[in-house]
Each structure stands twice: as structure tokens, then as C-alpha cells.
Structure 1
Amino acid sequence: MTEPHAPRRGRKRSEQSRLAILTATFELTRDEGYRALTVEGIAARAGVGKQTVYRWWPTKADVLLEALATKAELHVSVADRGSFRADLEQFLRDSFALLGVPGVAQALRSLMAEAQVDSQFASRFREGFLDRRRAALAELLQRARRRGDAPPVADELVADVVFGVIWYRVLATNRPWGEADLVALRDLLTSTFTNPDPSSRIGSTHV
């Protein structure tokens, strides 16, 4: 699994310790909030030394970043289901389900807020989470283009639509995701784009 950034220094990471630290970080953020999160608390919860955490991550935000990136890669499928429509539906369904897990949306809001005040972390957040989620969706789109059933718009625009909707909902509203949201977004990116109604195009006129 690609990590959001290389370990800072020192010996190779123990996978058992890494997972314990990531789990502890997410649970503490969920239970106590990001402001209360400390490296000392993470280390104590994970049963490791504080220097172990600092050896592998520069800040508490970076630990939380990797925890969320790992969750997303584990829980959001990019498997081939035979069509872009089916692939996209499962990608959205998994993404919405993950966002519904207690603590996930809260943690994402905290990371986005951190990125607004720390430009160095903002770069790591883009590379370690935002770009990786777009790359996962790009895998579906590239496969669809080989199959011939991709929407006739740039992949970047599809990603902007999908993640723009997701981030707007995470950052600006408290509305939960529902099946109607999933169906509407899936249909927007499959039915509407692949079978456009000429009369609905911008600039069209009606007699």
C-alpha cells in the first residue's frame, strides 16, 4: 500500500505497531475530538513510545491522515464489475458508507481545517489523501475508457463532480447520505452524460 509520505527516519516500521497507532489515532479523534488529540495520547493508547510515533510521522495530523487514507483504501472498492455504471455505483456506495461511520466525517473536517492553516500539511494532505482518492476513481474511468463506456467528458471533471459533492456535504451540511443521493449522482454521471438530451445543452434554443 502506498503511504502518504515516506517515514521520516529510523528503522523500518513494524506493521503491527503502525496499525495500532492508526487505530488509536482514529478512535481518540472520534471519542475526544481532534483538538484533544496528542501524540502522547496516541502512543499511550497504541502501547508504543512517543518517539515511535514521531519517528514515522511529523505531526498528529499526519497520523490521522494516514489512518483515513488506509480506511478509504480498505473499504472503497475499485473492483471491475463489468461496466462503468456498476463500478461507479459501488464506489459511491462504499464511499457513502465510510462517511457514515462515526468519526470519519468529523476527522475529515479536522484535516481540511488543518490544511487551511498549515501550508506544508496542506501539500501532504493533497498528496496523501485527496490525490489518492482521485486516483482510485481514475482507475475506474481508465478501465471504462478501455471498455468504451466512459462518460464523454474529461476524467478530471468527473472527479470534480464526485468529490465536490462529497466534500460539500461533509463540510457544509449535516444531511446524511441516502439511496436517492447515490442514484442521482450515479445517473448524472452515466445516463445524463452518456445519453445527453440535445435540448438541455447550454445555448440550445426551443422553437
Structure 2
Amino acid sequence: MERSHTGRRRNEAAHQAILDAALRLLAESEGAKVNIDAIAKAAGVGKQTVYRWWPSKGALLLDALTDRSEQDVARPDTGSLREDLLQLIESTFAGAQRVPTGPALRTLVREAAWDEHLAESLRTFALERREVAREALARGRERGELRANADLDLLLDQFYGLFWYRFIIGHAPLDRETAEELTDSLLR
């Protein structure tokens, strides 16, 4: 359905429709290239509208993943580092298994192997998600729940290393039990 023209102002419904269409098409593509024309058509907007708001397909896909991640992944601040980490890890695991997020993320990982612009978008996305976890760890350290000299980068590498390895290879679950074990392991 074609949306009415709104001039240069961003129409939030159209904006969200584009983000949702990009993620859905990426998830359904099974490795086939997803182009701006297809995203615009699926969102019911003109191609020029997409390009007015995003300079490239990579920027759009990054925005779509970030938007979905903001919806799916907790940003807890409960006052307990263990509870914050558990919520963050568990929601990261669960979010990556939902449709369309999981299939879209897998497709983006595959495409990033061949497309340096998408690789940079994926790197930016991963660093943004990592910063959310860093904030939780830093708060915990400030409250004395982590050693003052705890290496936050090493803890983050352990969390996201396990996540990405299991997400990509698929050899073991990303479930609540794993989230609890990982949380406890990070806090030892």
C-alpha cells in the first residue's frame, strides 16, 4: 500500500514500515541479495524516501537491527549486577532466535563476509550492543560487585564470544540455562 507523501519531514509510520520491511526481507532472503527497491515496495514507500533517510542499504540494515534490538534486548538497571547481566544475556539470546531477527542477522553475517560496507555495519551494531553490556558491568564495578581491576573487555569478549559462536555455529543452545551459567561464570 502506497503511503501519502509527507514532504521532507519523517513520517514515523513510514520509517517503521521501512525498518520492519528491511528486516523481514533480509530474514526471508535465504542469502539472496535484498535491494532498496524491494524494501521500498514492501514498505509501501518510494525508493527516494528510503534514500532520503538512509545513505546506503548497510545504513538501513544497521538501523533496522538496532531498532529491533532496542525492542528485544533488555537495558536493565535493577541495582544487582547479576540480575542485570542475566536479563541482558537472556534477552540477547532470545532476541537472536526470534523471527525475523535471527534469520536476518544470519543473512547479514553471511553477506558481510563479501561486502565490506555490510561488514562495517555489522561491526558497528555489535559494538553498540557491547556498549550496553559494558554499562551494566561498569555500574556493577562501581557498586563493588566486580573487582575494581576487572577487565571489562575480557568479560564482554566472553559474553559475546559465546553468543556469536553458538549463534553462527549452532552447536549448542542459547537458552536460559546457558544464560545463567554464563552470568555466574562472568561474575566469578
User: Contact 1:24–1:42 (CA<8 Å) still a contact in 2?
Assistant: yes
2:22 is equivalent to residue 25 of structure 1 = yes
Q: Which position in structure 2 is the counterpart of 1:113?
A: 110
The whole-number CA distance in structure 1 between the counterparts of 2:22 and 2:43 is 8
Deviation at 1:157, TM superposition (A): 0.7
TM-score when scaled to structure 1?
0.78
Q: Secondary structure at the match of 2:34?
A: coil
Deviation at 1:85, TM superposition (A): 0.5
Deviates more, 1:91-100 or 1:104-113: 104-113
2:97 is equivalent to residue 134 of structure 1 = no
The whole-number CA distance in structure 1 between the counterparts of 2:26 and 2:127 is 23
5+ residue gaps, structure 2, are 1-6
User: Contact 1:61–1:111 (CA<8 Å) still a contact in 2?
Assistant: no
| 1:102 alignment partner, one of 90, 93, 99 | 99
Deviations 1:15-47 (A, max 9, x none): 222111001111222334351522112111111
The whole-number CA distance in structure 2 between the counterparts of 1:29 and 1:89 is 29
Deviations 1:96-151 (A, max 9, x none): 11012023222112222333323333233322x11110110011011111111025
Q: Which position in structure 2 is the counterpart of 1:160?
A: 157
Deviation at 1:174, TM superposition (A): 5.3
Q: Which position in structure 2 is the counterpart of 1:88?
A: 85
Deviation at 1:50, TM superposition (A): 0.9
Change (3 A) 1:180 1:102: same
Which amino acid in the other structure matches residue 121 of structure 1? Answer: L
User: Contact 2:68–2:101 (CA<8 Å) still a contact in 1?
Assistant: no
2:12 is equivalent to residue 15 of structure 1 = yes
| 2:66 alignment partner, one of 60, 65, 69 | 69
RMSD: 2.1
Deviation at 1:48, TM superposition (A): 0.5
TM-score when scaled to structure 2?
0.85
5+ residue gaps, structure 1, are 1-9, 194-207
* Counterparts of residues 140-179 of structure 1 (less than 5 Å): 140-150=136-146, 153-173=150-170, 175-179=172-176
- Number of aligned residues: 181
Which amino acid in the other structure matches residue 126 of structure 2? Answer: L
